[in-house]
């Protein structure tokens, strides 16, 4: 192996290790691992959301961005996702490019973003994070904003609709709230 090949391979390996480390640290720090939603769950959430063209849609912790991209493809919504972990963030940017979807993917802590213009918010987050978000939703979101949670519910809020887990279809519990 030539010195140049060795150097290039070492750089690629170092970048890969850094990305893995960054993702592991982000998952530890924000206490939510990257677990992508299955496409059938995304489709079910979108059918609940009843999106209209131009609505502001957010995915808090957007992972690889597929929810935003499907939402955009379905109803040309104005979709934004926040993702702090480097590997899912890069996957989301790649997916956005491949699907030519006009969605925004930001490497930003969603707790630092004001959600006042949200029409629909999607969350696939753990109960502790949802509990921390509850007051933010109540303080910032307009009346009528839909919040849809995959698997975990927001303690202290009453959902307007619950899709009950179905082992046959692989659909988990889904909770929809309205502010
Ligand atoms: C369970 S995954 C869900 C990914 C995507 N929403 C989906 O359903 O496929 C949750 C993601 O939220 C991200 N996350 C957790 N806390 C965050 C925060 N405060 N700001 C931005 N991203 C966060 C994690 O890095 C992780 O990738």
pLDDT band at residue 66 under the 50/70/90 scheme: very high
pLDDT at residue 27 in the model: 83
pLDDT at residue 141 in the model: 98
Q: Quick check: CB of 110 below 6 Å from ligand 1?
A: yes
Identify the residue whose C-alpha is closest to ligand 1 atom 23.
61
Q: What is the pLDDT of residues 149-169, one digit of tens each?
A: 999 999 999 999 999 999 999
Say how far apart CA 148 and CA 151 lie, in whole Å. Answer: 10
pLDDT at 7 over 90: no
Tell which residue, 141, 131, 132, 138, has the closest CA to residue 57. Answer: 141
Specify the ligand 1 atom closest to the Cα of 129. 16
What percentage of residues in the chain have a pLDDT greater than 70? 100
Contacts of 34 (CB under 8 A, 6+ apart): 23, 27, 63, 85, 87, 88
pLDDT at residue 26 in the model: 81
Identify the residue whose C-alpha is closest to ligand 1 atom 12.
61
Specify the ligand 1 atom closest to the Cα of 126. 1
Specify the ligand 1 atom closest to the Cα of 150. 8
CATH code for 39-178? 3.40.50.150
pLDDT at 79 over 90: yes
- Where do the structural domains in the chain lie, given as residue ranges? 39-178
pLDDT at residue 78 in the model: 98
Say how far apart CA 120 and CA 145 lie, in whole Å. Answer: 6
pLDDT at residue 44 in the model: 97
Say how far apart CA 145 and CA 62 lie, in whole Å. Answer: 18
pLDDT at 23 over 90: no
Q: Quick check: CB of 30 below 6 Å from ligand 1?
A: yes
> What mean pLDDT is predicted for residues 31-46?
94
Distance 28 CA to ligand 1 centre (A): 12
Helix (H, G, I), strand (E, B) or coil at 146: strand
Distance 142 CA to ligand 1 centre (A): 23
Of residues 154 and 30, more confidence is placed in 154
Q: Which segment of 24-33, 66-75, 83-92, 122-131 scores lowest on mean pLDDT?
A: 24-33
DSSP 164: P
pLDDT at 25 over 90: no
pLDDT band at residue 102 under the 50/70/90 scheme: very high
pLDDT at 16 over 90: no
Q: Quick check: CB of 89 below 6 Å from ligand 1?
A: no
Q: Quick check: CB of 111 below 6 Å from ligand 1?
A: yes
């Amino acid at each position: 192996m030539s010195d140049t090949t060795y150097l290039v391979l070492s750089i690629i390996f170092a970048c890969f290790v850094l990305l893995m480390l960054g993702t592991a640290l982000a998952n530890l720090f924000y206490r939510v691992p990257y677990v992508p939603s299955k496409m059938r769950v995304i489709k079910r959430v979108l059918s609940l959301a009843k999106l209209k063209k131009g609505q502001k849609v957010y995915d808090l912790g957007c992972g690889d961005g597929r929810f935003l991209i499907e939402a955009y493809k379905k109803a040309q919504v104005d979709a934004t996702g926040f993702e702090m972990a480097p590997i899912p963030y890069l996957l989301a940017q790649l997916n956005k490019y491949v699907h030519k979807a006009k969605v925004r993917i930001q490497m930003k802590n969603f707790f630092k973003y004001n959600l006042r213009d949200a029409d629909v918010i999607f969350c696939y987050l753990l109960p502790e994070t949802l509990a921390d978000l509850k007051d933010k939703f109540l303080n910032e979101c307009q009346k009528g904003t839909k919040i849809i949670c995959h698997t975990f519910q927001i303690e202290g809020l009453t959902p307007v609709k619950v899709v009950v887990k179905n082992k046959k279809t692989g659909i988990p519990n889904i909770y929809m709230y309205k502010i």
